[in-house]
Chains A and B, each alone.
Chain A
Amino acid sequence: MILDLHSHSVRSDDGRAQVENYCQWVRKRALPIDGFVLTEHRQFDFESDYAALAREHGLTILKASEVETDYGHVLVFGVTPALLSAFDFASIRLPLVQVLEEAERHGAVAVPCHPGRTRVGMCAHVVERGPVAGVRIVEVYNGGSRGSEDDEARALAERFGYHGTGGSDAHIVSHIGRCATRFPAAVRSEAELAEALRAGEFEAVSWKSKS
């Protein structure tokens, strides 16, 4: 199963895509993904129910979050109401250590994203302040990466033995599915996604030049 693990809808302040339009684009362009995860900025969207859309288009649509830490932006998969109360998702000054620990405590998984990106990626912070214990996975393919940013992300993962995910970081419809993550088995819920990530059996894939 292939899921785009990083996308934003109009629920994010800078998202310009309706979820339905992502579905239509995936199907119209016959993109090789089975679904996508909505990782809205600095929040978790408990309200929206995309089950009907998912059924209509035969796609898996899951929800997660992208929060902002002292080591850059971090995707949090498997968010629960209890985790949402554990720290302020809206803050832009979260300690990465806290996000990792709280995610672990609540059965979620925290994944630093676009590590090669200036200021909001983990690489530069690691150079400046050293690695952070508890990181096991980083995003190594990001659809919004420029230049050598993905190369830096992969080098970081290789150096510290991190697993790597892929996600488009789509904010507009035509960017969905540029990068994704391949899992060996079906992932049908946020909890199953967190479990699959913890298992570590996945592979980042990229079609950036093709989509």
Chain B
Amino acid sequence: MEIEELKQCFLNLDFDERRFEVKQDAMLEFAAACGESAPRYTDAAHPEFQAPPTFCARFHGRRMLPSDFPEIGIPLDAGKCVMPQRPVRAGAKLVGKSHLHDVYEKTGRTGRMIFLVSRMELYDESRTLVSIVDSRLVIRERPAE
């Protein structure tokens, strides 16, 4: 299947929705794992206590790709990008909605690769966007027989 065809069939269509609760302990553990030292991330009693900017990368939907996405190869993790929009506070209840944001191809030493960018948009209870998480997957083209 060609890249343009994949784009036309799958881009920007929500394929998953999942609810998450932001727990204080998880925020503190994440901050410690990141080596954060700013009190707003490490001190739950701080008046501006919030999750580190990349915290939402820990949230995953039930699936990474649409259920009817063609099996063109085995997707491997190719990195994550978090675009925080609002502070994430302890106790917040978030809804993560996922869609395929981009499909593109490139060539490298190992040959042709197809990249899939699965985007999860996380909203709070007032439907305000708090974070955007892009999970990039790469599928390497099978070498010709």
A residues apposed to B, CB below 8 Å:
13, 41-42, 68, 73, 90, 92, 117-120
Contact = CB atoms under 8 A, between A and B. Distances in A.
Contact of A90 (B104, B108, B109, B115): B104
Interface residues of B, number: 11
Given A13-B104, A92-B105, A119-B108, 18 more contacts: A13-B106, A13-B115, A13-B136, A41-B106, A42-B104, A42-B106, A68-B107, A73-B107, A90-B104, A92-B106, A92-B112, A117-B109, A119-B107, A119-B109, A119-B110, A119-B111, A120-B107, A120-B108
A49 to B, nearest CB: 21
The binding surface of chain B is classed by DSSP as strand
Nearest to B106: A92
A182 to B, nearest CB: 28
B134 to A, nearest CB: 11
25 contacts: A13-B104, A13-B106, A13-B115, A13-B136, A41-B106, A42-B104, A42-B106, A68-B106, A68-B107, A73-B107, A90-B104, A92-B105, A92-B106, A92-B107, A92-B112, A117-B109, A118-B109, A119-B107, A119-B108, A119-B109, A119-B110, A119-B111, A120-B107, A120-B108, A120-B109
